[in-house]
Amino acid sequence: MSRIKKVLFIGSKKLGLRCLQEMHDLDPDSIIGILTIDDRDDGRNVYKGFEEFAAAKKINFYVARNKAEAEDNILRASPEICFVVGWYWIISAGTLKSVPNGFLGIHHSLLPKYRGGSPLVWAVINGEKMVGTTLFSFTEGMDDGNIWAQESLEVDDKDYISDLLVRLEEKAVSILREKYIPILEKKAKPSPQDHKKATFCAQRIPEDGLIDWNKGALEIFNFVRAQSEPYPGAFTFLDHKKLIIWKANPEKMVYYGSPGQVARKSYSLVYVICGDNRPIVLETVEYDGRKSRAGDIIKSIKTRFGNS
């Protein structure tokens, strides 16, 4: 059985760069090219890191401006297998079939659960106690290909999404460390997903971060921590301007009032009533371009947060 010798890496962002570096450390001669996008308008980008890595290691470097250009670069590179980490364009059926050993990718969920977009965000919004990352094969379907490896981790009640991303990055790198060479040597075998257990995630946009104060304090806390940095943030409106909530905590005490009403201020903390008559305590917020302690921005207990 012949060994796979020509690997094309496709991806972006910090996780993608970490995975690329690990693959190169494991077998530097296997990587024939790096395909990325110019995402320098995204605060999470590590475009320069990819560019410098490709130059230092003398690896062909492709930058796609659109899906058609990306697929043309894949075909021109003529890889035997592709590893995909941090990619946002659907790869067409024809391109999938053009690569003999297929496309393998990292998905931050415990597939078959949370197929689709922003899986970790949705998992935290839903209050999941266990999340994970999966190395799987691409198909024409949505994240429904065979699983090569999967790692899970417990979610602490106080974990923010940035905490989970750091730990999942290590899990993903660990998967590659264990599976990359066996896959190239065709000694590893994947397992099919149980499609009956599948759940799906819709794509998210920044406007989806609008807080519904009619929900309970714990639900709103999960909503905040799921979209905190490095994501755009959960938000509400104060005097018709967006107020982003970066850090908060739920409280069990009962406060009667209207959802979205500031009930109490305590030094730098601001207590906001939620739909279950329990408050969420705002710690760090951003308003009018200024990030600060909540109490420095929100001055009055007469404050009411709205939807616009």
Identify the pLDDT of residue 266. 87
pLDDT at residue 50 in the model: 96
79-95 per-position pLDDT tens digit: 999 999 999 889 999 99
pLDDT, average across residues 83-110? 96
CATH architecture of 106-203: 3-Layer(aba) Sandwich (3.40)
Mean pLDDT of 204-221: 97
Confidence at residue 103, expressed as pLDDT on a 0 to 100 scale = 98
**pLDDT higher than 70, residue 1:** no
Are 1-101 and 106-203 in the same CATH fold?
Answer: yes
Hey, where are the domains in the chain? 1-101, 106-203, 206-297
Report, at the CATH architecture level, how domain 206-297 is classified: Roll (3.10)
The model's pLDDT over 128-178, given as tens digits with 9 standing for 90+, comes to 999 999 999 999 999 999 999 999 999 999 999 999 999 999 999 999 999
Long-range Cβ pairs for the range 239-246 (8 Å, 24+): 240/306, 240/308, 241/287, 241/288, 242/287, 243/285, 243/286, 243/287, 243/297, 243/305, 244/285, 244/286, 244/287, 245/211, 245/282, 245/284, 245/285, 245/294, 246/283, 246/284, 246/285, 246/286, 246/291
User: What is the band of 191 on the pLDDT scale with cuts at 50, 70, 90?
Assistant: very high
pLDDT digits (tens, 9 = 90+) for 110-140: 999 999 999 999 999 999 999 999 999 999 9
- CATH domain 1-101 topology: Rossmann fold (3.40.50)
Percent of the chain with pLDDT over 70: 100
